Chains A and B, each alone.
Chain A
């Protein structure tokens, strides 16, 4: 059986799968019903929001269709520059993650050295730390009189890192956050590579560089494509980091600013349509450049590649490379930790804070915004995880266990939230809510129910948005579990007279419990950290989730930044435990969860 955790999503879309499906037996009724429910879920919570945005961006206030808002964007020099800047940032981030990840991937797959396992695990940590919390830390590190200036020694005017290198700062922060995505995809591709090819090339006299260029690189293209696409789209639509850096001329920030500026303005919706089109374009370009003519079967290893053991200074160098990248990636977070413990205003013109205190933690506990936001986030994330778990498990069953022909489509739909910008989806929900609230009284002669009105009670929409966005992790984790569980066990139970439900309860669920918990943990962690949905959907302070509270606090006068840092530290500890827990439960397969 093809193992999903070994193969990127695209492989599941290949024609050979469809061919095999044609010869398969008729799908079970349960599976068909599940598939039907899943299609309804995706139609309502994934496709409708996207269509709704397109509609709003092309409709005048009086209901007439128009392309004027859309065309206006291309006439507006500032919006065009925002698009170009966002694209430049995305390309910069992708290249930088590639530069960081490719050598590390080769090192970790081809060689062994002391500490490889631990270092490889540590490299994943930045992924679960919210990048915009990192941006708070980076603002301090890169302050005019901040630690970096103290390190390199600035004049009396200090060094204006952020003013001079704003865009570079955004690129570096995002790259240091996103390189694990690239790394995991490259590692998978390299591990799947058939060493016979390279050996043959070497036998024919090819040098190392030639082998890398002519054999290795072309053969890891699927992993390269998956990694690049994910990073490219993620960074193209990233809102939190540029917002924190005060880099306003990028499309996601412009969308966010415009929606908070004027209510009922259709221009940001048209802008989101452009964003979606541009994302699709980037995806297609990536596919043409990297994904062309690739067939998953050729990348499947027939023999396991033996890894070379490094010793002495070579081993130290390899471990050093891993350690360096990890240290760089956690610099912003260390800075947030130090900020949370430093006396207000005491980190000025010194390398480390001059005075330390626990006061900010005490304030975080009593602040009317901080702790309630933690409670809100826990509540939203818990519900979202429950929804994602039910839907994700159902989807995994259909994908792995059923013989339904269109199961590749369900797989693709499950992965769609990874490719569709968070901003697009959250905007879609917002737009649906506004539309329903307006339409309801006309059709039903009383105001829309509270749960549909995102501006009054955003909880339902937030939960659904979080669930939809984090579905891929649960599906991947559950599918991996199902594939490892021999079908025979379930069949044996059935033969002995157990009902479907009993089989599910007594055999399937216990066997894949660890996977489900791991998937749930990751879904929960990412729901706690969700930025775009939170910023756009939670518009009332009493419903702020933790991410919006951190952003709000960090801009508040006096000790706001410090309380925000304390909250950030708590979130970091919780999420590091989450990924370590998921890692312990899933073992090596943790990487599969982050793959496209």
Chain B
């Protein structure tokens, strides 16, 4: 009798494997029998994307070349896991697929992991009538000796970062639909904004940087309004002008202040950016900053009355999500890999990202709800799961490389100001919100947003960090010490404003 539990234990243990074995038996045989070619792909894409593209590419290859292809995926984890995996220079995968332009430019290309791709020039031209979207390159600009484009990676989809909000909660709170980043600083959203920790989420960090860049761009626009004659000046000459620098720096400071007020509304700073739309959909948070398709997938899961996505007009980064062929691939495998990349750039491959599930040419199980990168596919949006056009939404604005350089050194300052000093920030913010006089309250909020740091200091930090890195000094220790110093400075600032509010 007492061994009954052991038997039950064994049954429960084996059950999932037995069920899976029975359930999967038919499927495996079908694919094994009918396919002879195999392409190994390292990817960060989720299961839905992997399944749908495997199915679609297999069908496409059959109709064009007469043979089916099995896509054999390797999924090491997130983007940094993927880079780490590829650093070990595995010899079996042929393709790397997924990850932003930053990953390709800063991680994979410098490591020499990729090879120049010889894609059909007509396809490349049709897919990318312009190389850039509001200044951001959509594919790598490598060219061979004859001037033919041989990119080491190409973008195949676009990602943006925007606001995900819960319309039900917004209605309850009496708030109108958010339209700009600044709307998240509304004191009514106190403790209701879900944010990701910039130290853990690279995409969130880029989004925070965009809030600042928008303010910097406004500063620049103001400068040109005052000095229209300088608009024609070369960038390098402009940068030498102290008045131009001052305008940009004041924009930077305004952006930091705006972010600080959003951070004061934060419910938490999660290390997983996927938690943000989930919590908005569950009604735990009213709004958050999220990647477009995370938000759209949540919308599909819980319904549009509980989660909606908007990209703030002309103030979000819209960046390409890439694909590349690994350096060691050659012969027939190279041909197959090139066919896969070309498929992703065809109108069929592009529409798969956005068509509703079940629509002809669309995904079979679930819509993927990501933005295609080909401008021409946006002209006919019939059967689409979402309707938008990033080429218009960008509003001529996108991230700027030279301003992006400050990101690495701004991140620890956000940590010090928002996360390390969170209690002091909340204490000060709560005191301000209790001030009955509206004007005085607005003045105190302005004081709070007047951050105790300048752009110059961040630039100096960058210079110092690069110097220490070059000298192989203990940068970790230095960073930790700096962070403590900044934390102290911000806490003093919050305490001073709190005192004024008393």
Contacts and interface: CB of A to CB of B under 8 A. Distances in A.
Contact of A75 (B8, B199, B271, B484): B484
A377 B19 CA distance: 18
A491 interface: no
Interface string A234-256: 00000000000010110000000
A295 interface: no
Contact of A257 (B1, B271, B274): B271
A76 B484 contact: yes
B392 to A, nearest CB: 27
Given A246-B270, A557-B274, A558-B297, A574 B284 contact: no
A78 interface: yes
A126 B268 CA distance: 29
Contacts of B65: none
Contact of A364 (B16, B191, B476): B16
B349 to A, nearest CB: 22
Interface in B437-489: 472, 474, 476-477, 480-481, 483-484, 487-488
A367 interface: yes
A555 to B, nearest CB: 4
B297 A76 contact: no
B16 A371 contact: yes
A260 B271 CA distance: 10
7 contacts: A77-B484, A78-B420, A145-B283, A162-B284, A267-B480, A348-B283, A365-B20
Contact of A368 (B75, B283, B298, B303): B75
Contacts of B4: 584
Contacts of B172: 156-157
Interface in B241-291: 267-272, 274-275, 277-278, 281-284
Given A267-B480, A557-B301, A558-B297, A581 B6 contact: yes
B37 interface: no
B254 to A, nearest CB: 27
A573 B270 contact: no
B374 interface: no
A365 B480 contact: no
B303 A345 contact: yes
Given A348-B302, A371-B20, A570-B12, A257 B476 contact: no
A103 interface: no
B301 A574 contact: no
A72 B271 contact: no
Given A348-B283, A540-B85, 13 more contacts: A61-B476, A143-B283, A157-B172, A163-B284, A249-B422, A257-B199, A365-B16, A374-B16, A555-B272, A560-B274, A561-B278, A570-B16, A573-B12
B77 interface: yes
A565 to B, nearest CB: 14
A580 B13 CA distance: 15
Given A144-B283, A262-B476, A561-B278, A574 B9 contact: yes
B94 to A, nearest CB: 19
A71 to B, nearest CB: 11
Interface of B: 1-2, 4-6, 8-9, 12-13, 16-17, 19-20, 23-24, 46-47, 75-77, 81, 84-85, 88, 169, 172-173, 191, 199-200, 267-272, 274-275, 277-278, 281-284, 294, 297-298, 300-303, 306, 419-420, 422-423, 472, 474, 476-477, 480-481, 483-484, 487-488, 491
B20 A366 contact: yes
Contacts of A378: 13
A345 B302 contact: yes
B274 A556 contact: yes
A77 B487 contact: yes
Contact of B282 (A68, A143, A577, A585): A143
The 10 A-B residue pairs whose C-beta atoms are closest, nearest first, are A581-B5, A345-B302, A584-B2, A555-B272, A78-B420, A541-B77, A558-B301, A577-B9, A365-B20, A156-B172
Contacts of A368: 47, 75
A163 B191 contact: yes
A359 interface: no
A145 B172 CA distance: 13
Contacts of A366: 20, 23-24
A186 B354 CA distance: 62
Chain A CB within 10 Å, residue with most, of B5, B81, B278: B5
Given A76-B484, A158-B283, A367-B47, A577 B274 contact: no
A163 B16 CA distance: 37
A344 B423 CA distance: 35
A574 B298 contact: no
Contacts of A561: 278
Given A348-B302, A574-B9, A581-B6, A246 B268 contact: yes
A357 to B, nearest CB: 13
Contacts of A76: 420, 480, 483-484, 487
A556 B278 CA distance: 8
Contacts of A584: 1-2, 4-5
A69 interface: yes
A488 interface: no
B284 A144 contact: yes
Given A162-B284, A540-B76, A581-B6, A257 B200 contact: yes
Chain A CB within 10 Å, residue with most, of B17, B303, B491: B17
Nearest to A582: B5
Nearest to B295: A557
Interface string A266-302: 1100000000000000000000000000000000000
